[in-house]
Amino acid sequence: DHAADESVPYARFRIARAIYSQVSDTILLPPQEERDQGACLDAYRELSAFVLDYPTGKWSKEARFMLMMVTSRLVRHELYVGRYYLDRDKFDPALKRVQFALATYEGSGLEPEAMVLLGEIYLKMKRTEQAKEVLHQVLAAYPSSAFAPVAERFLAEAKPKPE
């Protein structure tokens, strides 16, 4: 409670790390992206606040790593749910999930994958121009990504077919 106390950063880091440890991986449970994300969200909030408050602190490097791990899990979950809706031809919820992931969790490292999924959703919604725009963005911003060839394939599908 005392901001001037030199033990506060350490205590906050320990709290963040304890919350992070609640995010578990085990072969006995379904994959992380299929499970409830409550623990991940709690860890994301706490780690984000810690990194914001102590950007150059003693534990900031470890906190950034944990934050990166939690962020990628949250994005993977959103993409998983987006694909679930897409597979059932529920385009609007799929679109909202992917847009939410891109807007909320910047810097997750999963942007190329999310953007390609967004392009695929747009194609299935017959919003070809929006699909082309986002797929071209993938190729421009992430040319060496594993998703660049997928983006190229979707762009080829988006071209009008000769009669």
Give CA–CA dist 54/63, Å, rounded.
10
pLDDT tens-place string over residues 10-22 = 999 999 999 998 8
Q: What's the helix, strand, coil split of the chain in %, to 5?
A: 70, 0, 30
The stretch 98-119 carries a mean pLDDT of: 94
Burial of 111 (0-12, 13-18, 19+ CB in 10 A): buried
| pTM as predicted | 0.85
Give CA–CA dist 65/38, Å, rounded.
19
Position 2 scores a pLDDT of 62
Three-class secondary structure of residue 89 per DSSP: coil
Q: What DSSP state is assigned to residue 35?
A: S
User: pLDDT grade, residue 70 (50/70/90)?
Assistant: very high
